[in-house]
Structure 1
Amino acid sequence: MKIKVTTLAGWGLIATIIASENFFYLVVGDSTRVMGVISLNDLFVLLAILWIGLIMFMYRNQPNPIYHFKWIILFSLVLMMTSSLQSYLLYGQDLIMGIRPQRYWLVWAFMYFPISKLLFLKRFTYEEVQKTIFIIGTLELIIYISQYLLLGQIQYLNVSSNDVYSTTRLYINNIFLNLLLFINLDRLFNKKKVIKSTLYIIAILFVIIIVGKMRMTFISVSGAIIIGFIMWRKGGLLKLLTFLMLFPSLSIILNLEEIQAIFLTLKGESTVNTLNIREVGREFYFSILKQHPVLGGGYINTQWEPAAIASRVYDRIFWVDNGIFGFAYFYGLLGVAWVIALFRKIYIMAWKVKRNLNCYLFFIMPLYWIIAMPTELHWYYNSFLVVTLLICMLEVKYRESC
């Protein structure tokens, strides 16, 4: 049977997104072995590499789009090499040990090229990508919310949890769901399917606040939403009604135990206070950057004992809890320059799209990443594929706005 290229493109994208979303936590991707040989995660990484190669080969004679983010994406390969080399020089860590943990970031990043080309050639459309995001995001909402409601009766998700508050916290990735949230916020601002979009936003905020109890994510997402409302042009009566609805909702949200914990943490009174250890972590990372400003401390593989000790992970200093500071520790000021270049490019294009098409998605969503940057960098650590999807979709809208 002959497989259509468009079918291969569509299903390849769907499979890769699901893999990047940890298979909805229904299986443990890094320990589940396929035929006892390869982990499920690595199998899908190999399939993604194969997918990238096949798409670029099959369409090699077709016109190429202007790859606006080409050099930024390619430079991620440079960062991978320099960070691995730095770890080798500082701790004697094998180069492969530095490269291997970065494979997900690199593969998800390099998917930019086939996705961008497929969208340019209209082998699948912007609307089809959005529909895919809606379908996968809806499945995630159903799975995560139902698991939370069924806790104590049945647990089918392979996910870490703890009882940090009076209810259980599930450690689930939310960056893809936040993409869905901001797509719906943009639809709300453009008065499209207002009720449906509002329900999606509420459901995703429920996952952030109640299911995942993600304090910094809630602050950053809320901050981006508020800025979006301030920027919202031609909202008219809908904008007024939305504000009126927000006041009683805000009162309920502010009294939630999880939100009260945020205020207590900021005052230094919370029993769940991670600010102190983060402060220690930042001071440590700054000290390393003073010694190695350009390349930083290199990429740490905790399986190499000298590197793990040097990074102070045994002192409970984790780079994932220190946002851009942890990233700078890995990649030095070279990596920070890369982040600045990425966001600068996004906003140069997003501003034109917002102005000409009244599309807020690409302007507001990166705001939540920027607000959260001092303490979390989930768009890098958890799933760079969301960034890839966003910039590919941005390119489509940018072409329309020109």
Structure 2
Amino acid sequence: MKVLKTKASFHININTILLTLLFFFMHNCFYLVDSSHKILGIIGYQDFLFLYCFLICIYYYTRYPKNYFQGTFAKVILFVPIIVILSSFMAYAYYGQSLISGILTQRAWLITMFLYFPFMALIRNGKLNFESFLSIMYKVVFFELILYFIQYFVGESMMFLKVIYNYRYGTLRLYCDTAYMTLLATFATVKFMNKEKIIKNAFFITAVISYVFIVNKGRSACMILLLTIALVILLSKSNIIYKIVIMVLASFLGLYVFLSTETVQEFIAIIFQSADDVTYNVRLQSQQYYLSKLNSTNGAWVFGFGYPNSTNPNSMAATGVYLGYLLADNGIYGFLFCYGLLGAIWYLYSLLVQIKSSIRLLYKKSKDSAMIVTVVIGLASIVTNVQFFYSFYSFYSVLVFIAIELLFKKYEVIYKVKNNELF
């Protein structure tokens, strides 16, 4: 008898690889590379990342050109180039920054927002769904947590990550971007409450909370994460008994483990004991400075004071950088300073679309609370949150937009299947 030999097929999903690399590169290769150095001595990391994002946009446009620039958030994205150009004009008018310099310094925000369209092309053509998106997120966050915790435990003497760090409460504090972690923790909580892969999702929720409290040590980050998880639990479609049990167990665990940490103690002292918060005082001074600039210049309130290029000394002096006032620390105040009321209208429209879509997911689809909680918490942290406009940090906003689109697609498929089963 003849035995037929067959070659084992090995399927490589190019889309998964490209998206995983995108996640990887957006967080400085998980800080394994020094982003201040040139790659192979040829190209700076920021330029490399811009080029990779640009090529992603072009690649998927050539593959799926039909309806490429469409989607729930298409108008939000397509308005970005307009306010970028206007802010460049304002910077030229107020402190002599060249138009090209003004546009180039905002190229990271511009190209990052346009990543929405490649994602949408994949969704529209059935190449990306919510579960495959989450699968990438689980893997990425897992590797981030492993690397960052290892670095924390080995300490400064064996510093292998190229990341900003200092000491807070006597232990190492790493300034790693937690955007993927917080977003995944939200989805993991929804799945946990729906009793889907309970152990896996409980692990990720616990690991992310532990990282934020122990390694990140940011007061606002800690409170926002806990509030996010609590709201997802309260708004979940689980029965009331299950919610109460989870909340009670979580509360006891939190009181036992986290309430004694210096992060929480300092936060409580600031709120209830009027303790000084140096960073808060600097932000107040920054905001007053920004408002004074908008008030003292004709037209600034409408179109903003322009976005400063960090290589231009005049721009740095005019926008208060030399005084220690940074856009990244001032959220909506920094945004208003750069883009004026026109930018504020853009942001409000973006929020309106997000809130409307999230409410539909919560009430009209499958009572999925992940996105409405994400949007509300983002709005609550608007004073310090820069993830909707600042540099490559805005990738978080794109992920929020894409998550909303994926959930719409997911429930649309579910309801189509249910309706077909009726006939």
TM-score using structure 2 length:
0.88
Q: How far, CA to CA, are the matches of 1:247 and 1:9 in structure 2?
A: 41
1:141 lines up with 2:145 in the alignment:
yes
1:79 lines up with 2:83 in the alignment:
yes
Equivalence for 1:364 = 373
TM alignment of 1:76-115, pairs within 5 A: 76-115=80-119
CA contact (8 A) 1:88 1:95 kept: yes
Report how far residue 379 of structure 1 moved.
4.3
1:33 lines up with 2:43 in the alignment:
no
Equivalence for 1:204 = 208
1:282 lines up with 2:287 in the alignment:
yes
Amino acid of the structure 1 residue aligned with 2:215: V
Q: How far, CA to CA, are the matches of 2:54 and 2:351 in structure 1?
A: 26
Identity of aligned residues (%): 25
Q: How far, CA to CA, are the matches of 1:330 and 1:222 in structure 2?
A: 32
**Change in 2 beyond 3 A, CA 1:288/1:373:** same
Report how far residue 30 of structure 1 moved.
3.7
- Deviation per residue, 1:178-205 (Å, 9 max, x gap): 1111111111222212232122112111
1:310 lines up with 2:348 in the alignment:
no
Report how far residue 310 of structure 1 moved.
1.3
**Change in 2 beyond 3 A, CA 1:85/1:379:** same
1:269 lines up with 2:272 in the alignment:
no
CA contact (8 A) 1:85 1:95 kept: yes
Amino acid of the structure 2 residue aligned with 1:388: V
Equivalence for 1:295 = 303
Report how far residue 82 of structure 1 moved.
1.1
Report how far residue 396 of structure 1 moved.
2.8
Q: How far, CA to CA, are the matches of 2:329 and 2:203 in structure 1?
A: 30
Q: How far, CA to CA, are the matches of 1:279 and 1:393 in structure 2?
A: 34
Report how far residue 318 of structure 1 moved.
1.4
Match of residue 392, structure 1, among 398, 402, 420:
402
Q: How far, CA to CA, are the matches of 1:162 and 1:30 in structure 2?
A: 18
CA contact (8 A) 2:190 2:236 kept: no
Q: What is the DSSP-based 3-state SS (H/G/I as helix, E as strand, rest coil) of the residue aligned with 2:105?
A: helix
Greater radius of gyration (CA): 2
Q: How far, CA to CA, are the matches of 2:88 and 2:11 in structure 1?
A: 36
Q: How far, CA to CA, are the matches of 2:12 and 2:308 in structure 1?
A: 40
Q: What is the DSSP-based 3-state SS (H/G/I as helix, E as strand, rest coil) of the residue aligned with 2:162?
A: coil
| Structure 2: runs of 5 or more not aligned | 1-9, 413-423
1:330 lines up with 2:334 in the alignment:
no
TM alignment of 1:189-200, pairs within 5 A: 189-200=193-204
Report how far residue 7 of structure 1 moved.
3.6
Report how far residue 132 of structure 1 moved.
0.7
Amino acid of the structure 2 residue aligned with 1:332: G
Match of residue 30, structure 2, among 24, 31, 55:
24
**Change in 2 beyond 3 A, CA 1:126/1:6:** farther
Cα RMSD over matched residues?
2.2
Equivalence for 2:17 = 11
**Change in 2 beyond 3 A, CA 1:338/1:89:** same
TM-score using structure 1 length:
0.92
**Change in 2 beyond 3 A, CA 1:400/1:196:** closer
CA contact (8 A) 2:31 2:163 kept: yes
Segment drifting more, 215-224 vs 184-193: 215-224
Runs ≥4 in structure 1, deviation > 3 angstroms? 4-8, 62-66, 265-268, 399-402
